[in-house]
Amino acid sequence: MAVPIGRSQMGIPSMRILLIAGLTAVCTALPAHAWTETGSCLLPEEDLTLTYIINGSSVMSSDFLSSISGVSTLALHQGWSEDGIPRIETSIITDLTWGVMAVTLSDTVLQWLMETDLGIEVRTGSHKSEPHALIPLMLEPGVAWNSIRGGYLERNTVIACDRTVTVPAGSFAGCVMISSVRESSESTRSAVEYIAPGIGRIMLIEELSAPGSWSMMLIHRLDSIERDT
């Protein structure tokens, strides 16, 4: 079953949650009043604060296994740019414990969203003149597209649109499952994410590695949802 991501139901990968070894994509969306088309919304139509629990492990070239745990808070604020283009401000704070080392990372990114014949272009404050991602207007199993993230090509494929996923925040039906792969000369990232209608990403499983050097696996699960009033 196809899941339209038209004007009121568009999925947007946010720019970054910085984790020591790489970047992870985060999804967000436009508010309902931003567009005129109707239909069930795949992603949030309101300002939200989403809190994720992170668990994982890393293996270094010395075969030293280290556990990773933490919490990430994602605040989504939706509005308009000066030229009337829909804009999203994403604030992220991630607290990680990696072995015996504690790390706090924070980031705020502005995004501008533009609809084209092919899909939704995503532009950020530092790359406003050049789109770094393109989201198809229609999602259904088998749909694939390329985007640029962190300066590297990322290949994305929709695996399913009907998954039920249970995370600490609850059970969510009708989730879209998307796989992605990004390769560079330094490392490779492969990921599977689950996006719940009206909420956004509820789970992300990602693997990052540098051949012969290190590897890492991280699982992000949605723990709580706060609707800003």
Q: How high is the pLDDT of residue 153?
A: 87
Query: Minimal CA–CA distance to 26: which of 38, 42, 15, 37?
Result: 15
Task: Write down the residue that tokens 């749909």 correspond to.
Answer: 143
Q: Put residue 78 in one of left, alpha, beta given phi > 0 → left and psi -120 to 50 → alpha.
A: beta
The number of distinct structural domains making up the chain is 1
Residue 4 tokens read as: 């339209």
- DSSP code per residue over 155-203: EEEEEEEEEEEEETTEEEEEEEEEEEEEE-SS-EEEEEEEEETTTEEEE
Q: How high is the pLDDT of residue 173?
A: 93
| Low-confidence residues of the chain: pLDDT under 70 | 1-44, 229
Q: What is the pTM of this model?
A: 0.79
- The parent domain of residue 59 ranges over 3-227
Q: How high is the pLDDT of residue 37?
A: 33
Q: How high is the pLDDT of residue 14?
A: 35
Q: How high is the pLDDT of residue 171?
A: 96
CATH number of the domain to which 116 belongs: 2.40.360
CA triplet 184, 190, 196: central angle to 5 degrees? 135
Are 204 and 220 a contacting pair, CB within 8 Å?
yes
Are 153 and 182 a contacting pair, CB within 8 Å?
yes
Task: Write down the residue that tokens 């038209």 correspond to.
Answer: 6
- DSSP code per residue over 104-171: EEEEEEEEEEEE-SSEEEEEEGGGTTS--EEEESEE-TT-EEEEEETTEEEEEEEEEEEEEEEETTEE
Q: How high is the pLDDT of residue 3?
A: 52
Q: How high is the pLDDT of residue 15?
A: 31
pLDDT, one tens digit per residue, over 115-168 is 777 778 888 887 777 777 777 877 789 989 888 777 788 899 999 999 999 999
Helix, strand, or coil (residue 204): strand
Are 201 and 217 a contacting pair, CB within 8 Å?
no
